[in-house]
Amino acid sequence: MTETDSSPRRTRAEQESKKRTRSTQRFIRDIVVIFLAAIIISVGIKTYLIRSFYIPSGSMENTLQIQDRIIVNQLVPRLIPLQHGDVVVFSDPGGWLPLHISPPVNPITGAVDWALTAIGFSASDSNDHLIKRVIGLPGDKVTCCNALGQIEVNGIALVEPYLKLPSGISKVSSMDFDVTVPANSLWVMGDNRYSSADSRYNRDTPSRGFVPVTNVVGRAFVITWPISRWTWLDDYPQTFSGAANR
């Protein structure tokens, strides 16, 4: 075979090789674009729509257990108003949480956790937030306890089926109080009422026990993990029926 005869074959082989190279490059480019788009969408969802947290303490038992994973709707209260009974995640108003010093972590592990938190797949900042139930909205008069040991909101006694109380105790709070919730603030309490450092126990902090609405990250609406505990979180509208500030 002469060199002239082999030239077209080499040309075709080179063209096929170039096509395969371009196809591979396009495939890699598409994968990178899809990956970046997924990250951008995930960050957007975490920033504006929903966010994941885990439960670090037992203050909301039995509604929430330690290490439960929850999803928080961040449209509340940005676009959707808060309601009595909502379970909300909020940042520390100041002095509610003890000083938390994170232990040193491997730089690679820290970077991965940071990235997963950024896109909403991890919740490394859960220890910097609190989760409680909204008992009082702005303008509400919240008192405890009446003759039956109940909380009253605007003179309406609450029957609270979500509470965890010590055996043999019916009084829903070991501490009496009588407060009027300021504008743009909340009065919040844990469901595990005798083991929750909530509004009652933080009246000597700068916020006087109230949570500024601007500190609210969102409303927890579902338990996602463990699978055996998957459930929607109720805000118990029947409990607060008639308690709206008049």
Which residues are part of the catalytic machinery?
A: 59, 132
Enter the tokens of residue 27: 């495939």
Q: What whole-number distance in Å separates Cα of residue 214 and Cα of residue 212? A: 5
Q: CA 141 → CA 32, 90, 111, 168, 187, distances in Å? A: 55, 22, 46, 28, 10
Query: CB neighbours (10 Å) of residue 231?
Result: 11
Q: What whole-number distance in Å separates Cα of residue 79 and Cα of residue 229? A: 29
Q: What whole-number distance in Å separates Cα of residue 74 and Cα of residue 44? A: 11
